[in-house]
Structure 1
Amino acid sequence: MDTTALRGAYEKFFEVAAAPDLGEAADGGWNADQVLAHVLSVDAMTTAVALGVVAGVRPSFDNRVCLDTANLDRIIAGHSGRAELIAHVRAQADTLCDVAGRLGEDAAAVLVPALLMSGDVLLLDQPVPLAGLVDGLAENHVPVHTRQLADLRGGGTTGHQEG
């Protein structure tokens, strides 16, 4: 798979994530650390699904654990601060891009049962090609969370959840 677009989306994400003035969401939504933890969780799950496909397993993708605040808090607590959390997200994004970049056409075409939520809203409940999961990160997921982080600058206006 070509991961050029995904790597580009992550670079923009990390530029925004490094801003020193990321505050709390005025609407009670996710703060910057929660967004970072969510992206880390989604990337780890996507990597696991891709590796499962390569191993011959037929994994599924269910992002509900990636939205769970207890899971996000656990991820955040495992880091000494935002800089360490960003470094971990960057490393996980690199791992995902490396794994996806090694997928052959057959593996990329494998249908993966997918359940995608955004908050309490069901976005998708059907099989999608593994390539569709990866490409969806570049086309939608990472840019949405980049905007979400940008909205948190200087105290922020929105920290709404996104899947």
Structure 2
Amino acid sequence: MDTTPLRDAHHALLEAAAAVARATERPPAGEWDAGQILAHVSLVDAVTVTAAVSAASGAVTTYDNRVAQDSWTLRRVIALAGGEAGLRERVRLQGEALCALVAPLSEAELDTPVPTLLLSHGRVQVDGLVPLRDLVTGLAEAELPGHTKQLLNLLP
């Protein structure tokens, strides 16, 4: 699998996060700050890495993003990473790991159907089988660019 779009999406997200780190603006009420956005991305990356490893090993897996939206979990990830700088490094390394994991997968592995539950703002977006390839592509084409835009919206 060509991981260039995934690498590029991670790079753009991290550039936006670095720019936001230099700014002092707070997000509007009810919106995530940069740390929460990065913690969310870190959790989504981790779930995607788990799905890729499972597909490669032949293990049964699921893909569920609910934990990546839980405010207590986001705060815990921020604390465990040591703040936004630690989160940026974590997301960078997770992006590299994910690219390294999916690049050599066979077509059959990429076509592995993964039981998936995706929520956004409390609403179900996907509840069904999704090929691993589509989860990775969705991360590169929608999830990461969406959070990059969300970060850039925090700039003054």
Which residue number in structure 2 is paired with residue 16 of structure 1? 16
**What are the Cα deviations for residues 56-106 of structure 1, in whole angstroms up to 9, with x where unaligned?**
112010100111111111100112332121011111111111101121111
TM-score, reference length from structure 2: 0.95
Structure with greater helix share of residues: 2
Q: Which runs of 5+ in 1 are unaligned?
A: 155-163
Residue matched to 1:124: 126
Question: Which runs of 4 or more aligned residues in structure 1 lie more than 4 Å from their structure 2 counterparts after TM superposition?
Answer: none
- Pairing partner for 1:63 from 55, 60, 65: 65
Residue in 2 that maps onto 1:29:
31
Task: Report 1:1-163 matches (<5 A).
Answer: 1-19=1-19, 20-21=22-23, 23-154=25-156
Provide the secondary structure at the position in 2 that maps to 1:116: strand
Q: SS of the counterpart of 2:81? A: coil
Paired amino acid for 1:148: Q
> Quick one: distance in 1 between partners of 2:97 and 2:72?
24
Give per-residue Cα distances to partners, 1:127-160, cap 9 Å, x unaligned: 0100000000011000000000000112xxxxxx
Return 49-58 or 37-46, whichever deviates more: 49-58
Q: Which runs of 5 or more structure 2 residues have no equivalent in the other structure?
A: none
The amino acid that maps onto 2:37 is V
TM-score calculated relative to the size of structure 1: 0.91
Q: Percent identity?
A: 42
In the TM superposition, what whole-angstrom CA distance separates every residue of 1:16-47 from its partner, at most 9, and x where no partner exists?
A: 11011163211321100000000000001100
Distance in 1 between residues matched to 2:144 and 2:24, nearest whole Å: 17
